[in-house]
Chains A and B, each alone.
Chain A
């Protein structure tokens, strides 16, 4: 049985108080709770503060390019279905440069979990407006206030019929751990958007702000997370300031369950040598 220590590496380089510590913590706890071993887990990250996740989490890691964690992570999973694969991104990484891949990952529905550390700012590049920055946000690149409408990841994911949509908060590690566990267990693409405050560059969306405003749908016995249209309404009504399991379609088949000819054994473990008969059969098609 693995322990939290098995998923720990060197000291993380995030700013003291960074929300990403909470996300790391929750990911490690989720892995332990699910009985995973470090060598079975792969974290694929992009660039930015969120990109450090692949190094700080004690599984295998692939620290890829800005915005490109999703295509990379999907292929890792499809290459070896016995691995547990998580992609880690940020709002800049995932919803800016990587937005196209996000929508297509939902379409493709490969069985990976996407954890996005959403702090409404570009942190590592020292505080520019991000795709989730509110209208009016004053940053280094929007000194007069951002005028662009922010992306609402939950609504986008729901509109595209994502099979699993959740939102967590770095200040509530217990709930976040449970959401990540459920996301990993969901067979198909799962999104966990996490409000992960940037204590250095974002003075608006702080821990205190979220503690004051967040509505926890997991605490609402009347909320039905299997109804997509209700979920859309609820997210809109709460202006996205909600946490919990927003939506899950347990029936939606994942890519590996539906794509033609996908092998039962991990492709990485397959025999790759063409037999003499196979070769002869193919050559015959060219005669």
Chain B
């Protein structure tokens, strides 16, 4: 694989994100596969922020550990990101605003460019980012004209003048670099562009998946990193007969989603950790009243308000166990952007088929990282509404004969009626209830209803929930869930290059826990390294609970807020897998 790692950094509020966006979209439009990662802080201006782009000639699932070109708007950017620089890489810094310093031992080129001055010459200091992009284009030997369509898209509504001055700034950067420096790091060869080459983030894919899956009501409260789902949906739902409600809090949000589902509309809420915690009581209501509901939790670092702009996978056990009492729920953990789309759509089918809450667990890394993919599985999406009782069936019943919570059914799933249907009046309630939905405290009814609800997921059928990549007979395994799939695949490939045969076992669902699939996947495995972004090994604990694998597991844990790096997995793999195998 040919690839390039590019990063721009500076103070929050300096236009770092828009610089990254323009460059990433330009590379994507040229036909490259890109993967972006935003490092940002919970403040509006100041601090350090950076935007990483990895571009290659094949699909990327990870932002990569290395940077070959770094654009530094301040010294902090150099200091913070120096460890990622590759030998022979280039640091471009704004010499109109500071004199950069960097160690000299790594062969990294430190090149000053008067970014601000050149920008002023082109029409305004604000365009220093365009100058930087132009200089980068010179390093990568990309033609400035290739950026014109993106610049037009971005600035056309501000007028042709703005488009022209931005292009002027870009060309000025290009020309300055070409004139003063002769180091080039040519961009990868262009891949063959696919018809459905899309640039999309996990959050956007989640919103699109909801729309495609028939969701027509989102009730949510703004929270990083989930708010982008709301932004996407609010742009598209009204066009398709749907509604977005900005709830007063997360408690209202989930209760709204439950109310809308009760009334027959596919509805969901999207949130992140602290908001998800606030929803726990209502999660129980959905379980007890057997009302479908979909909840998307885009995890961030916790607990409490934790690190609101950093990624983590530490809501796993809350998703699996959260709420008082015991309820049936399904927890999906999409591995990729495509799965954010497809699993969110499918979540509505599962919620209606099993009449229970479905939690889609993603995280900041997957949710906010935009990337190039070869299309989304839109053709796979179907809308299946599960057991709904028909008006005809109800017409043949007497009044009060309809049993919303009929406990005698073998599969535990009793047909749902929707308000408006004659003869089917019932009460959906959080109290324990009998078959017709009346609140009762009778012991036998309680036992029967608990058993009824439990039977629903005892009969669960869906995809296996566990993927296995690599050789089935491998003695060593890398294990993870959700967003770490990409970096683990790279780790597997890298270990194989070094002669170690490993398989990669990955969860895309953790409830109902795919125990038999895991058991099969672990057969013959001598040592399994469970890689997860939390401090207590939540996935490893779940695995041990369901499958006898205590002696086999080792942990690779990270919880400093950054996504897992390839290097960290490889280092830990060296420690855990027998050293002799690696050479």
Contact = CB atoms under 8 A, between A and B. Distances in A.
Interface of A: 10, 37-40, 42, 44, 52, 54-55, 58-65, 68, 70-80, 82-83, 100-101, 104, 259-263, 265, 267-268, 270-274, 278-279, 282-283, 286-287
B433 to A, nearest CB: 9
A78 B424 contact: no
Interface string B333-354: 0000000000000000000000
B509 interface: no
B438 A72 contact: no
Contacts, number: 181
A7 B263 CA distance: 19
Nearest to B423: A39
Contact of A72 (B243, B255, B265, B426): B255
B198 A60 contact: no
Interface of B: 29, 196-200, 204, 208, 211-212, 214-217, 219, 236-243, 245, 247-249, 251-253, 255-267, 281-282, 285, 289, 375-376, 378, 383, 418-431, 437-439
Nearest to B242: A267
A39 B242 contact: no
Nearest to B196: A283
A71 B252 contact: yes
B255 A273 contact: no
B interface majority secondary structure: mixed
Contact of B243 (A54, A68, A76, A78): A78
Given A62-B427, A80-B265, A55 B439 contact: yes
A31 to B, nearest CB: 13
Contact of B420 (A10, A40, A260): A40
Given A61-B427, A62-B429, 17 more contacts: A44-B259, A55-B438, A55-B439, A62-B262, A63-B428, A63-B430, A65-B255, A70-B252, A71-B248, A75-B255, A75-B260, A75-B267, A77-B263, A83-B420, A271-B241, A279-B212, A286-B200
Nearest to B422: A39
A64 B261 CA distance: 13
Contact of A65 (B238, B249, B282): B282
A42 B29 CA distance: 52
A44 B249 CA distance: 19
Contacts of B428: 61-63
A104 B375 CA distance: 41
Contact of B265 (A61, A79, A100): A79
Contacts of A65: 255, 281-282, 285, 430
Contacts of A40: 420
Nearest to B417: A60
B255 A272 contact: no
A101 B204 contact: no
B430 A72 contact: no
Chain A CB count within 10 A is highest, among B197, B243, B375, for B243
A64 B198 CA distance: 42
Contacts of B256: 71-72, 74-75
Contact of A55 (B198, B263, B420, B429): B429
A142 B381 CA distance: 58
A187 to B, nearest CB: 17
A151 B257 CA distance: 29
B427 A55 contact: yes
Contact of B199 (A52, A62, A287): A287
A287 to B, nearest CB: 6
Contacts of A71: 219, 247-248, 251-253, 255-256, 259
A273 B378 CA distance: 12
A68 B253 CA distance: 10
A273 B248 CA distance: 30
Contacts of B241: 263, 265, 267, 270-272
B329 to A, nearest CB: 17
A271 B429 CA distance: 28
B378 A283 contact: yes
B220 to A, nearest CB: 12
Contact of B245 (A39, A78, A261): A78
3 A-B pairs with the lowest CB-CB distances in the bound complex, closest first? A261-B238, A75-B259, A63-B429
Nearest to B281: A65
A287 B197 contact: yes
A265 B265 CA distance: 13
Contact of A101 (B197, B248, B266, B376): B248
A10 B418 CA distance: 21
B247 A54 contact: no
B282 A267 contact: no
9 contacts: A55-B439, A63-B429, A64-B255, A68-B252, A74-B259, A77-B263, A80-B419, A283-B378, A286-B200
Contacts of A271: 241
Nearest to A58: B425
Contact of A61 (B252, B422, B426): B426
